[in-house]
Structures are given as C-alpha cells and as structure tokens.
Amino acid sequence: MSKRSAERFEWRILGAGAPGRAAPESKLRLGVLISGSGSNLQAIIDAIEGGALPGVEIALVVSNNAGAFGIQRALKHRLPVIYLPWRKLPAGSALQEMTPNEAQLAGLLSFFRVDLVVLAGWMRILSAPFLEQFANRVINIHPALLPREGRGETYTLSSGETIPALRGLHVVKMALDAGLKVTGSSVHYVIAEVDAGPVICQQEVPIEPGDTEESLHERLKEVEHRLIVEAIRQFRR
C-alpha cells in the first residue's frame, strides 16, 4: 500500500464516529457483557429501539461463550459483537492484578468508547484493578435481593421480615432450598467483592407453591428486564 493510500485508509478507519475516536454525538455508550441466553441484552435492545432509552446506544457486546444465544441476538440487530475466549484461572487465585483477558477487555471497551459496562448474565469474576479502571461504571444484574448499601448478610423485605442475602451462583435454587416465600432481583454497582456493591434498583418477587428453579428464574428475568432498563435510564445523558 502506498503511503498516500495508507493515510487515506487510516483516515477511513479512524474517521468521526469510528471506534477509538470521539464521536460528534454524546449518547451514553453501553458495553454489554454476556455469557448465555442474553434475554436482558434483548430487553436493552428493545428499550433502545422502542424509544424507552433515548440518548443510549449499545457500542459493543462481548461474550466469553462462543455458543451464547445472546451473540445471535446482537447480530440480528446489527450490533458489534465480539467473542472473547476467557481463560479460567485456577480455583482460589487471588485477582490482585488485571489478567491478560481483562487487559484485552479493557482495551476493547476503551476502543469502542464505552461509558457504562452492563454485566447481563456475565459469568466471570472481574479483578479489583480492572474494576478500578471502570470505577462506578460497571453494573450487574443479580437474581436475588441484596442489601441496599451492598454489604451485609441479610435483606429486610417490605413486610419487615428478614431473609438471607443470597450471593454467588445458583441463588434461585438457594432461595427455593431455603424455603423463602419471597425473593427478587437487584441491579447493583460491581465492586471487587462478589455481589456486594450498592444497589441501584431492585424488586421483590413472591415464590409460588410448586415453583421450580426454572419457573422462578423465568419470573425473575421478567422483572430484571424492567429493572435493567430503569437502572440504565439513571445514567442517561
């Protein structure tokens, strides 16, 4: 390639509105991280396309799972989507520094000028150094009720009853196994402690007799689809 056409090529890929360069518009740009079905991603897409999230756009979708159905959802809506193979760290590894995968992710998020990172069913833990780089700009959806201020072992229901704050994987099953009458979903800021950041919004969901993990999780997801849109609205420009 001649020097002149190389310059023109560079101009084309770095032109206004391209990734890596400030765009003329000032929409809130989301980076949505997924690992699975992507129904929450779909709720965000529908809200944007339906006009319920003016001033917001999805800049990038990242999946650590090549088979995630959420990738198909993103492609159907012509969104930039990247599969980022994520290396599992040995159990018990302390994430004291950014992993090579996180460095790749941080680079992608900054190249696509992401303002707010939404963990929408993202099944990988992020390290403190990564989260420091995106301080107060990473939010997560959790299918259980977390204490409003983040930390703490219990949640007080609107009825005044106290239930355990369920954290980690399989919390829908944990709610059933614990015989709870009410559980719920929360959208919260992500901090270096798992499922412990301050809550942005949440809603209680009654557990019905005969509920299975699947039926309860489906009802929780219906609630999450509204909550995640409400949470993003609070960051809108």
The residue number whose beta carbon is nearest to ligand GRF equals 121
Please report how many Cα atoms fall inside a 13 Å half-sphere around the Cα of residue 105, on the Cβ side: 31
Please say which residue, 124 or 142, places its beta carbon nearer to ligand GRF. Answer: 142
Compute the distance between CA of residue 81 and CA of residue 91 in angstroms, rounded to an integer.
Answer: 29
Q: Are strands 116-119 and 182-189 parallel, antiparallel or unpaired?
A: unpaired
Q: What are the phi and psi torsion angles at 56 (to 5°)?
A: -130, 140
The answer to whether residue 188 is catalytic is no
Closer of 121 and 197 to ligand GRF (Cβ): 121
Shortest Å distance, C-beta 148 to ligand GRF: 17
Cα(183)–Cα(83) distance, rounded to whole angstroms?
33
Shortest spacing between CB 217 and ligand GRF, in angstroms: 6
Q: Of 23 and 182, which has the nearer Cβ to ligand GRF?
A: 182
Find out whether 47 and 141 touch, Cβ atoms under 8 Å.
no
Residue 89 CB, shortest distance to ligand GRF, in Å, is: 20
Alpha carbons 214 and 178: distance in angstroms, whole number: 16
First to last CA, the chain: 42
Closest alpha carbon to 32 in 121, 95, 107:
121
Q: Using DSSP, state whether 99 is helix, strand or coil.
A: coil
Distance CA 151, CA 168 (A): 14
Helix then strand count (H, E) for the chain reads 7, 9
- In whole angstroms, how close is the CB of 64 to ligand GRF at the nearest point? 12
Q: In 3-state terms, what secondary structure has residue 125?
A: coil
Q: How far is the CB of 82 from ligand GRF (least distance, A)?
A: 17
Tokens 């084309």 correspond to 12
CB closer to ligand GRF, 77 vs 113: 77
Residues of this chain that bind ligand GRF (CB under 6 A): 34, 36-40, 70, 120-121, 141-143, 185, 220-221, 224
Would you say 21 or 170 has its CB closer to ligand GRF?
A: 170
Catalytic annotation, residues: 142
